[in-house]
Structure 1
Amino acid sequence: MAVAVAGALSACTTPAPQQPGPAKPPESAARIDGMPADWTLVSTVIVSRHGVRSPTHAHPPLDKLSPDTWPGWPVPAGYLTARGGSLAERMGRYYGDWLRARRVLPESTCSAPGAVYGWADIDQRTRESGNALLQGIAPGCDMRTSHQADLTTYDTVFQPVAAGDCPLDPGAARGAIEARLAPDGVAGLNKRYAATLARMGQVLDYAHSPACGAQGGCMLEDVPTRLRVEGDGSGVALRGALGSAAKASEVFLLQYGEGLPDTDVAWGRIRDEKDWALLLEAHNAQRDLLNKTPYLAATNGTPLLAAVLDALTRAQMTTGAPPPAPVRGPVLPVGNRVYVLTGHDTNVANLAGMLKLDWQLPGQPDNTPPDGALVFTLWRNPAGEPFVRVEFVYQSMHQMRHLTALSLDEPAKRVTLPVPDCGDGPDGKACKWPTFAQRAKAALLPACLEAVR
């Protein structure tokens, strides 16, 4: 069942001139995407995290973790900033250049209505990031993302657990995480990430923070890390040392992406790239545990992966009736070729956990950075056979910091992600369509699908 759509998005009914760069031949795109020039890109599904935002409300509050004053932000908590919108639009420009070079989008006019479509989660940061991405993909075409009409309830496509449509079993959730951490379990996390926690304690000056009390002198790595599982199955969270370090390290990265002065980014205490990587280990560990653990990934990610699979299924069909309507969310317009889903780092991690995808990002210590996206592409080889390829596309730290204008000549970063036990295509990193579809369907949680239809 589809919910009502707000902010309808369509291409211009009267084509308006775009302002992309000069036309590029397929060979230019091939150098970027690694696929042969004679392979045809049929469609793409982009599952993107939102852009640079201000910090969200934390537990404990950030001001409890350090004696130093945290820099202010120009927007309310959790909102996309103007610079965040600009960075997202630059990513969209890059996607647009690539898609035009691959002949998915036209060079000098707006696409046919419905060819480009976006669906975003209900938050301001996701809606505005989606708008910026689409405006970058098709400049001058007045495109805006669609989203659930009711902004007061969770969108099941992105947050089925919080929405109550697919609650977690508390015992199964805790057991799945403890099993991944065996033999020491959650209790061993502080030892596992001792170096990260110790360094974060130094950067925060945690020993003199309000969290240490008037006496001071305590150490972040001595604060127990606890796993909180809501009794009603509405979510899980890390509390204590690792949870606090994960939150702080993400905020430091957001400060850097926002372009704050060097002296305001972690109070000027991060030394170099190795220091960044050490600090972001906490954030990456939290995402891995809470969002990629298979049971948690499938429960949280089934509606989103079903939406991706639905879009690719429709795109690869050349004859016959379209598949049935997907789970709650948009029913894709006929002729859709570019589908942009804008959510959160948790959503990206959920899909990675379901499909068993892993990556490290050169030049970017955050594995799920702002505007980073899982990009699913459907190709046909010269014989007409369909293949699916999965990549992670992102901006490096340098590109974020310097507001790099992205294009085929100055591309975003791309990492091709091998799907386990699937080595097809020209470089052995693609899947034949039937194989990919089978693996994606097998990853879906049937009970969750039934609950949200």
Structure 2
Amino acid sequence: MLITKPWLQKEGLLESSCPTEDLFYAYANAKQRTKASAMSFVEKAFPNCNIKVHFKGESDPVFNPVIHNTTAHFRNIAFKEMEARLKDLTLNNSLLFIENILDYRDSKQCKVKKECDLCADENSIDLNVGYKPNVLGPLKVAKSVIDSFVMSYYEGFPMKDVAWDLINDDTQWQLVMAISRGYHDVIFNTTLVAKDIASPLIKYISDVFMNKKGNPKVTLVMGHDANILTVLNSMNFKAFNLHDQFEKSPVGGKLVFQKWYNPDSEKNFLKVNYVYQSTDQLRDGSDLTIESPPQFIQLELNDCKVDKSGFCPWDDFIMFLKTLL
């Protein structure tokens, strides 16, 4: 991740020595990738400090992106919202492009399963208590393929080994990534589903903000893209675009909530940034420093008006959080 020790020191949050848990606290989803990401963060930010990363069982309910609400009423409304979002997708050009890359009509999927048309084959919504919402069908197939393309690109594979060198420029990347964005919009970005999935994590971070988890100066909460997407929606952030990046929730990105104190007004304020790496920084494995920083944009909550510097009153933010609990 992208909040480095020099940045924390520069902002006066931490000293140069190894921080104790009353200053820095790390909590991660126990999934291998998120636990490893948190451990990598603390090892790089605080070398030789032996900082503990806290985690629970494999299916930690704070992070697990599953449906909680058991009522038929919830399921009916959520299903209709997801179905409407799915029908509104206009992805034929993107899907045709992927078909051509895959030579899809000559694939095993077509020859054996008789699923040969990413545009015309039927998608279905899978929405069940205790499980992650899903879309089954050609949209899921195309999204899974794109995940493979993206990761091979980020890992620095030669372009001949990234989609067989058939994605050649930013316009084509944006074309295929529209499929991934559409898929995530259907499963995570309808408000009812997002609020239900994110509710345990919103409760956890609200407790942090309200000092119910002790009062460390810095808390690292390491989840995955589903957590970021559902938190963004359930907290009602205004729409934004990430510059120099074709993903909506790029690998390693972080929502950074900052509490600032103004000695003149004697009041606290909130600022939120999305901090992430550009596609080039990820592919090149660029070292991130104060002089060569990651990308970041300022975010704004619809329910907490910011001033010209991007700050909203902390008390207003806390009042808003209470409406989510």
State the TM-score, normalized to the length of structure 2: 0.91
What residue in structure 2 maps to residue 269 of structure 1? 166
Q: Which runs of 5+ in 2 are unaligned?
A: none
Alignment of 1:338-417 (within 5 A): 338-357=218-237, 358-383=239-264, 384-417=266-299
Total equivalences in the alignment = 323
Distance (Å, rounded) in 1 between the aligned partners of 2:111 and 2:82: 34
Equivalence map 1:41-440=2 (5 Å): 88=1, 91=2, 94-106=3-15, 108-148=16-56, 150-151=57-58, 154-159=59-64, 161=66, 166-169=68-71, 172-173=74-75, 175-179=77-81, 182=84, 186-187=86-87, 189=89, 192-213=90-111, 218-230=116-128, 232=129, 234-314=131-211, 323=212, 332=213, 334-357=214-237, 358-383=239-264, 384-427=266-309, 429-440=310-321
Letter in 1 for 2:104: Y
Describe the superposition over 1:370-394 as per-residue Cα deviations: whole angstroms up to 9, x where unpaired.
1111111111113231111111110
The answer for unaligned runs of 5 or more in structure 1 is 1-87, 315-322, 324-331, 445-453
Deviations 1:346-374 (CA, angstroms, capped at 9, x unpaired): 10011011112232211111111111111
Q: Structure 1's 244 and 382: CA in aligned 2 closer, same or farther, altered over 3 A?
A: same
Q: Distance in 2 between matches of 1:366 and 1:120?
A: 23
Q: Structure 2 vs 1, CA of residues 98 and 243 (structure 1 numbering), >3 Å: closer, same or farther? A: same
RMSD: 2.3
CA distance in structure 1 between the partners assigned to 2:117 and 2:71 by the alignment: 34
CA distance in 2, matches of 1:415, 1:302: 25
The alignment partner of 1:213 has SS state of: helix
Contact 1:160 1:303 in 2 (8 A): no
* Residue identity in the other structure for 2:80: E
Taking the aligned partners of 1:300 and 1:432, their CA distance within structure 2 comes to: 27
Checking the alignment, whether the CA contact within 8 Å between 1:207 and 1:216 is kept in structure 2 is no
Query: Contact between 1:375 and 1:393, CA under 8 Å: does it hold in 2?
Result: yes
Displacement of 1:180: 6.2
Instruction: Specify the SS of the correspondent of 2:256.
Output: strand
CA distance in 2, matches of 1:245, 1:387: 43
Deviations 1:152-184 (A, max 9, x none): xx101111736xxx34546534533533664xx
Higher RCO, 1 or 2 (CA under 8 Å, sep at least 6)?
Answer: 1
Q: Distance in 2 between matches of 1:401 and 1:433?
A: 37
The two structures have a TM-score, normalised by structure 1, of: 0.67
Return the alpha-carbon distance in structure 2 between the equivalents of residues 121 and 436 of structure 1.
26
Distance across 2 between alignment mates of 1:155 and 1:180: 25
Q: Which amino acid aligns with 1:400?
A: L
Structure 2 contact 86–186 (Cα < 8 Å) conserved: no
8 Å Cα contact 1:115/1:338 also seen in 2: yes
Confirm or deny: 8 A CA contact 1:160 1:167 kept in the other structure: no
The 1:138–1:215 alpha-carbon spacing in structure 2 relative to 1, beyond 3 Å, is closer
